[in-house]
């Protein structure tokens, strides 16, 4: 088995030893074996990284748009050269099926760098308002804290936006999936990013994450992950009045209209939720079907689920790999148990699929007769679990859809344009997806309500890394 020994942090343009010898084991969730180690970084390591980012800021924030476009394109070119490593690593550390690591995970990472370069072409850093010039300036040293569920995408969307804005950065990737982030650091090194612009410190959320959120020299924290950690970061950041951008979880509703083919609808739902073994913050996990179509929809789900095979992520026909960790496995089992007690199971259940006793594999599970006040309808399960609810009319469907603390995404499947318009304007969420249409990378991504308070991707992501300055009397 390939062993990654990546004990160094990337600070000030160099691979450096940690100030402590403590290490963290990284596990392949498909076989529960250790695949490598990283350093359990210290506050001292973090301080060195912040200092180098601070030093680099004065010159990097003054680079021209043209220079940063060239840099982002160089990064994208170097990233492409590492395709094979990135794809293999995502599969090893996350358990994502190899075809999905390539088609989705790898591609998302690349697209954010390319898109940021493209956005910069037309991005206006200066506007004129009568006698005042409004300048958008890089906000400063930025702390980036990322989760494990999209190791390339989450790191790339934050880094591409920060670099486009002229910010310098300190990244702390999730300790469950650090090796993709390390390859991205090597990519930035190969692209000749000026030293100190990007720094990577590995370690725990407790030490490095909290160190970032409370560091007086960090001006902005961009975080993706769970709600409780997001709230903690916001509280820690308050003492230094840091700006914080949060991308948190969701329990996104999907409304199926009666006028659509139920078999097609079932496949849109299944491919959405089962992708990444259900470990997606925008997954359409709360499905609303009219009472008239309920039985037909459930029948289609039952018939279609077996086409989404759970298996070793190295195999090309696998759609569902293992969950990322034992902790995640236990969390999903608990929710399936709750569902079995309170609702009706359509397919799946607790335990591991046959023949997959080693690894954190779970059975894709669908419940019906779910009431919206049940835990399986309100809480983020982060596994391949779908809850089906019924509605009598469109107003009730919208009311149920909005009856959640979250607001990351909403989905509609149907043909009637008026109904679709009514749903998309009524659901309180940052992104509405119609009939499974794929998003392009200029589209904003982020949540209403407790799903967050920021936007990433495209020009919206770049805006997050900017401050606004008025120079009065500068314009003529
Ligand atoms: P998490 O605990 O929020 O972790 C996300 C990142 O924050 C990791 O890098 C983590 O570090 C770091 N972190 C942990 N504690 C921190 C603290 N006190 N201060 C600053 N940073 C801290 O999420 P998770 O453990 O990966 O997953 C837990 C649940 O979060 C999941 O079950 C899911 O519901 C949700 N989640 C949502 C998303 C999303 O995209 N919205 C993504 C992932 C997870 P370490 O883990 O390395 O210590
Ligand atoms: Mg792992």
Please work out whether the CB of residue 149 comes within 6 Å of at least one atom of ligand 1. Answer: yes
Q: Could you tell me if 334 and 384 lie in one domain?
A: yes
Whether residue 300 contacts residue 265, with contact meaning beta carbons closer than 8 Å, is answered with yes
Mean pLDDT over residues 437-460, rounded?
A: 97
226 lines ligand 1 (CB under 6 A): yes
The pick from 94, 204, 205, 333 for probing ligand 1's pocket by mutation, whose C-beta has the most ligand atoms within 8 angstroms, reads: 205
Give residue 150 CA to ligand 2 midpoint distance, Å.
Answer: 12
* Same domain, yes or no: 52 and 125: yes
Write the pLDDT tens digit of every residue in 149-190: 999 999 999 999 999 999 999 999 999 999 999 999 999 999
CA of 323 to the centre of ligand 2 (A): 9
Specify if 158 maps to a domain.
yes
φ and ψ at residue 316, rounded to 5 degrees: -70, -20
pLDDT, tens digit, for every residue of 322-336? 999 999 999 999 999
Ligand with smallest separation from the Cα of 96: 2
CATH number for the domain that contains residue 372: 3.40.309.10
- DSSP class of residue 15? E
Of 95, 170, 229, 324, the residue with max ligand 1 atoms within 8 A of its CB, to mutate for a pocket test, comes to 229
What's the pLDDT tens digit per position in 88-111? 999 999 999 999 999 999 999 999
High-pLDDT (> 70) share of the chain, %: 100
Residues 239 and 260 in one domain: no
CB count within 10 Å of CB 285 equals 26
Find the 331 Cα to ligand 2 centroid distance in Å: 16
Q: What is the DSSP string of 2-41?
A: --EEE--EEETTEEE--SS--EEEEEETTTTEEEEEEE--
In this prediction, residues 407-430 reach a mean pLDDT of: 98
Helical packing angle, 417-426 and 394-402, nearest 10°? 30
pLDDT (tens digit, 9 = 90+) per residue, 422-441?
Answer: 999 999 999 999 999 999 99
Q: Is the CB of 205 under 6 A from ligand 1?
A: yes
131 alpha-carbon distance from chain centroid:
42
pLDDT-derived band of residue 474, with 50, 70 and 90 as boundaries?
Answer: confident
Q: Please, are residues 237 and 213 in contact by the beta-carbon 8 Å criterion?
A: yes
Torsion region of 140: left, alpha or beta (phi above 0 gives left; psi -120 to 50 gives alpha): left
- Whole-number average pLDDT of the chain: 97
In whole angstroms, give the CA distance from residue 287 to residue 78: 41
Per residue in 353-407, pLDDT (tens digit) is 999 999 999 999 999 999 999 999 999 999 999 999 999 999 999 999 999 999 9
Domain shared by 284 and 301, yes or no: yes
Question: Residues 158, 454: contact at Cβ < 8 Å?
Answer: no
Query: Which residues constitute the domain of residue 196?
Result: 4-248+451-471
Nearest alpha carbon, ligand 1 atom 46? 174
Of 341, 281, 38, 48, the closest CA to residue 175 belongs to 38
Please identify, by atom number, the ligand 1 atom nearest to the C-alpha of residue 145: 9
445, part of any domain: no
**Ligand 1 atom having least distance to the Cα of 247:** 41
**Residue 169 shares a structural domain with residue 293:** no
> Both 45 and 11 in a single domain?
yes
Task: Describe the chain by its helix, strand, coil percentages, rounded to 5.
Answer: 40, 20, 35
Is residue 476, in this structure, part of any structural domain at all?
Answer: no
Q: Which residues are catalytic?
A: 247, 281
- Ligand 1 centroid to Cα of residue 155, in Å, is 14
Q: Is residue 446 part of a domain?
A: no
Q: Is the distance from CB of 47 to CB of 19 less than 8 angstroms?
A: no
Percent of the chain with pLDDT over 90: 98
- Asked whether residue 377 falls in the same domain as residue 271, the answer is yes
- When pLDDT is averaged across residues 228-244 and rounded to a whole number, the result is 97
Q: What is the CATH number of the domain that holds 137?
A: 3.40.605.10
Confidence (pLDDT) at 169:
99
Residues 459 and 372 in one domain: no
Give the pairing of strands 385-391 and 365-368: parallel
Asked if residue 70 lies in contact with residue 194, where contact means CB atoms within 8 angstroms, the answer is: no
Model pTM? Answer: 0.98
pLDDT for the residue numbered 475: 83
The verdict on 338 and 422 lying in the same domain is yes
Using 50, 70 and 90 to split pLDDT, how confident is the model at 1?
very low
What average pLDDT does the segment 200-221 reach?
A: 98
pLDDT in tens, 262-271: 999 999 999 9
Q: Give, using CA atoms, the residue closest to atom 6 of ligand 1.
A: 147
Report how far ligand 1's centroid is from the alpha carbon of 384 (Å): 19
Atom of ligand 1 nearest to the CA of 173: 9
Structural Rg of the chain based on CA atoms: 23
Q: How many domains does the structure of the chain reveal?
A: 2
- pLDDT of 22 strictly over 90: yes
Instruction: Tell me: do 28 and 109 sit in the same domain.
Output: yes
Of all atoms in ligand 1, which is nearest to the CA of residue 236?
Answer: 19
CA distances to 206, 320, 334, 353, 412 from 29, rounded to whole Å, are: 23, 13, 19, 15, 33
* Protein residue whose Cα sits closest to atom 29 of ligand 1: 226
Give the β-pairing of 23-28 and 33-39. Answer: antiparallel
- The rounded distance, in Å, linking the Cα atoms of 152 and 158 is 10
Q: Say how many Å lie between the CA of residue 120 and the centre of ligand 2.
A: 35
Q: Output the six-digit token pair for 150.
A: 């999209």
Q: Which ligand is nearest to the Cα of residue 325, counting in written order?
A: 2
Is the domain of 325 the same as that of 344? Answer: yes
Q: Is the CB of 102 under 6 A from ligand 1?
A: no
Residue 148 lies in a domain: yes
pLDDT at 4: 86
Where does the pLDDT of residue 281 fall: very low under 50, low under 70, confident under 90, or very high at 90 and above? Answer: very high
Shared-domain flag, residues 31 and 117: yes
Beta partners for residue 471, in sequence order: 133
Atom of ligand 1 nearest to the CA of 203: 47
Distance 173 CA to ligand 1 centre (A): 10
Which of helix, strand or coil describes residue 257? coil
In a domain, 103, yes or no: yes
pLDDT confidence tier of residue 2, bands split at 50, 70 and 90? low
Give the closest residue (by CA) to ligand 1 atom 9.
174
Give the pLDDT of residue 161: 98
Closest C-alpha to 185, from 373, 9, 411: 9
């Amino acid at each position: 088995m390939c062993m990654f020994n990546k004990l160094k942090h990337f600070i000030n343009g160099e691979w450096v030893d940690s100030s402590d010898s403590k290490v963290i084991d990284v596990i392949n969730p498909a076989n529960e074996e250790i695949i490598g180690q990283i350093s359990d970084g210290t506050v001292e390591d973090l301080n060195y990284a912040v200092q180098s980012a601070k030093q680099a800021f004065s010159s990097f924030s003054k680079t021209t748009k043209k220079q940063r476009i060239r840099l982002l394109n160089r990064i994208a070119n170097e990233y492409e050269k590492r395709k094979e490593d990135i794809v293999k690593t995502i599969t090893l550390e996350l358990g994502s099926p190899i075809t999905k690591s390539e088609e989705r995970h790898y591609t998302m990472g690349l697209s954010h760098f390319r898109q940021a370069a493209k956005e910069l072409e037309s991005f206006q850093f200066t506007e004129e308002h009568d006698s005042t010039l409004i300048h958008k300036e890089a906000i400063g040293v930025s702390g980036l804290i990322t989760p494990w569920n999209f190791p390339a995408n989450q790191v790339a969307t934050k880094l591409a936006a920060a670099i486009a804005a002229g910010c310098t950065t300190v990244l702390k990737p999730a300790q469950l999936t650090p090796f993709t982030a390390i390859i991205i650091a090597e990519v930035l090194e190969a692209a000749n990013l000026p030293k100190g612009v990007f720094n990577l410190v590995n370690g725990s959320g407790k030490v490095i994450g909290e160190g970032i959120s409370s560091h007086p020299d960090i001006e902005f924290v961009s975080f993706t992950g769970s709600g409780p950690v997001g709230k903690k970061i916001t509280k820690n950041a308050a003492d230094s009045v840091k700006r914080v951008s949060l991308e948190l979880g969701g329990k996104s509703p999907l409304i199926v209209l009666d006028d659509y083919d139920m078999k097609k609808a079932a496949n849109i739902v299944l491919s959405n939720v089962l992708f990444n073994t259900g470990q997606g913050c925008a997954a359409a996990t709360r499905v609303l079907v009219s009472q008239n179509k309920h039985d037909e929809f459930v029948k289609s789900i039952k018939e279609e689920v077996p086409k989404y095979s759970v298996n070793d992520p190295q195999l090309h026909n696998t759609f569902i790999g293992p969950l990322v960790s034992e902790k995640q496995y236990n969390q999903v089992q608990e929710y399936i148990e709750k569902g079995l007690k309170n609702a009706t199971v359509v397919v799946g259940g607790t335990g591991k699929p046959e023949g997959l006793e080693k690894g954190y594999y779970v059975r894709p599970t669908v419940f019906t007769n779910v009431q919206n006040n049940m835990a399986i309808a309100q809480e983020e399960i982060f596994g391949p679990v779908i809850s089906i609810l019924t509605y009598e009319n469109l107003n009730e469907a919208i009311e149920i859809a909005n009856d959640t603390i979250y607001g990351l995404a909403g989905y509609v499947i149907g043909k009637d344009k008026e109904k679709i318009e009514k749903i998309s304007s009524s659901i309180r969420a940052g992104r509405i997806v119609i009939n499974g249409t794929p998003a392009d990378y200029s589209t904003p991504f982020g949540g209403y309500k407790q799903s967050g308070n920021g936007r990433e991707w495209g020009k919206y992501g770049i805006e997050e890394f900017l401050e606004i300055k008025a120079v009065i009397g500068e314009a003529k």
